[in-house]
Structure 1
Amino acid sequence: MKTRPLFAAAATAGLIFSLAACGSEEDPDAGNGDAAPAADAADLDLVTEGTLTVCSDVPYVPFEDFDDTAPSGFSGFDIDIVSAVADGLGVDLVVKDSAFDGLQSGLSLNAGECDMAASAMTITEDRAQNLAFSDGYYDSLQSLLVPTDSDIASIGDLSGKRVAVQQGTTGESYATENATDAELVSFPSDAEMFQAILAGQVDAILQDLPANVPHTADEAFTIVEEYDTEETYGLAMKKGNDALVDAVNEQLAELRDSGDYDELYAKYFSEDAADSDDAESTS
């Protein structure tokens, strides 16, 4: 099986939780179930008072997916992270499905569609010109997915091949810079890219490793290369809302310090999680 070692690779990529330690003094009420939320929600300049509205480009498994059984209508690693943040802030959570290009450009946040973008978004200097990012919460890699019977063994074999990339992503940027002889075909999301490779319309998919891993579950596809691009995901917010950024960072640090982050990570990226996905794919 290819899935287990690839999930081990994903674990190596994401295991370093890149949160900055909080510098605030210890709360004397820490551990008290009646303690007040870490931040006053009234000071956070939320789109809707008492509610953290989060935009995400869905689906992008295992980070976000549609889920009718979940309170928000969505599930995934990112959704669990922002749910914990909302709980810590003492506010409700609403999740909206939004196009990634509008999220990474800052248009959705500036238009008041949401307070935060949580969509496996890499922190970059270009994006930071239009967005305020939280501390990092996941370190990732890029990867190349091909059919198992493909003669493509590396990025050097992509000359003349059609390669699917997601528009506006760091995967698209990496492919543009490193697969110069390939024909890059941009899609709005992972779902469209995977349908294209299933239909034989493209020869490969180049995108974040954790998003490619689930496509290897039935062994019809395999990941032939991974690329360490030193990428870290962050939660994006509107520039200037420092109160929200600080409050979110405090909640992320609490997740790390309490051990809850490790539990969430294991839920989606451990070998047990990979085995569970395999079982579901063959049921």
Structure 2
Amino acid sequence: MALWPMRHRMLVIGAAALVTALTVSACGSGGSAGGGGGSTAGGVRLVNAGKLTTCTHLQYEPFQFTRGSQTVGFDVDVIDLVAKKLGVKQEVVDIDFAAIKSGAVLSAGRCDVAAAGLTINDERRRNIDFSVPYFDATQALLARKGRGVTSLGDVKAKNLKLGAQASTTGLEYVKNKGFDPIEFADSSKELLGLETGQADVIVQDLPVALTWLKKPAIRAKYDVVARLDTGEQYGIGMKKGNAALSKAVDQVIEQARADGTYNALYKKWFGVEPSPAAAA
């Protein structure tokens, strides 16, 4: 299925303090998504009329990142499919990841959906309604070549410094394995921490690590030394109880898998076709 041209998107830079203020000041308006929005086809109520507002956390290539004046990526393209179904344009808002995973920005009516490589788990389900899974995730260890590291066991045995991105499931995973990792605010700072020696090894989602390795300067010095199959799946987050929007998002994901659009987007951003199980 052919893909349409990328729409222009406005990037709004947010912060945790702003989210807190929004949470305090937001008041219910009787709509399924909060905020004073307008209805679209299918009866979906949006926080901003004529827009599907997406909260995300940059930079997280290839899922969401800036390219020139635009925000692009796999997650962005998936939500563009939802916006097209609703007959609106997508607007992307950059927000601290902790406020996204807690559901605060959704409850405050700051955005309609959260698309930020967001792993579905029971803790988050208490505050967020998730779509059907749209991506099977795997964690990875990235280290300087020649370190002799092939597992988390090697990291512990060699007493190496382990780094992880704050508020992520990768961080939780290694903590549950008995590590006390250095925490970095975002993926870019995490990679910089590896390059500057703040960490000897870092844990990150495999597609993000593989995207870093496409850059010759990174590939010359570093490598994925282990893959950690954590059984994670990503979902699109929405305010709890927003049944109309949840139904629309699920329909889009399922239709994209059925008609080949999902495979096309996957290959566009990851360079390969998804596995049969992931594409089903």
TM range (shorter): 0.7 to 0.9
Deviation at 1:271, TM superposition (A): 4.8
CA shift for structure 1 position 104: 0.5
> How do 1:187-202 residues align onto structure 2 when only pairs under 5 Å count?
187-202=184-199
* Match in the other structure for 2:28: none
Q: Which residue of structure 1 aligns with residue 43 of structure 2?
A: 43
User: 1:175 maps to what in 2?
Assistant: 174
TM-score of the pair, normalised by structure 1: 0.77
2:8 maps to none
2:62 is the alignment partner of 1:62: yes
Aligned equivalents of 2:271, 2:249: Cα separation in 1: 25
- Matched residue, 1:161: 160
User: Percent identity among equivalent residues?
Assistant: 35
Bigger relative CO (Cα 8 Å, ≥ 6 apart): 1
Q: Which runs of 5+ in 1 are unaligned?
A: 1-38, 273-283
Deviation at 1:231, TM superposition (A): 0.8
For residues 143-162 of structure 1, the aligned pairs below 5 Å read 143-159=140-156, 160-162=159-161
Structure 1 residues 176-218: Cα deviation after superposition (integer angstroms, max 9, x where no partner): 012x2x4401112100100111111111111211111122233
Equivalent position of 1:34 in the other structure: none
CA-to-partner distance for each residue in 1:22-58, whole Å, 9 max, x for gaps? xxxxxxxxxxxxxxxxx94472221111210001111
| Structure 2 residue matching 1:157: 3-state secondary structure | helix
For 1:248-278, what per-residue CA distance to the aligned partner results, in whole angstroms no more than 9, with x for missing partners? 1111122112211110011111259xxxxxx
Partner deviation per Cα, 1:105-156 (whole Å, 9 max, x = no partner): 1111112211111001111011001000001101011111101132322110
Aligned residue pair count: 229
Separation in 1, partners of 2:260, 2:144 = 38
The answer to whether structure 1 residue 77 and structure 2 residue 74 are counterparts is yes
Q: Distance in 1 between matches of 2:100 and 2:180?
A: 26
1:205 equivalenced with 2:202 (yes/no): yes
Counterpart of 1:254? 255
Instruction: Give the root-mean-square deviation of aligned CA atoms.
Output: 1.7
Q: Is the 2:129–2:239 Cα contact (8 Å) retained in structure 1?
A: yes
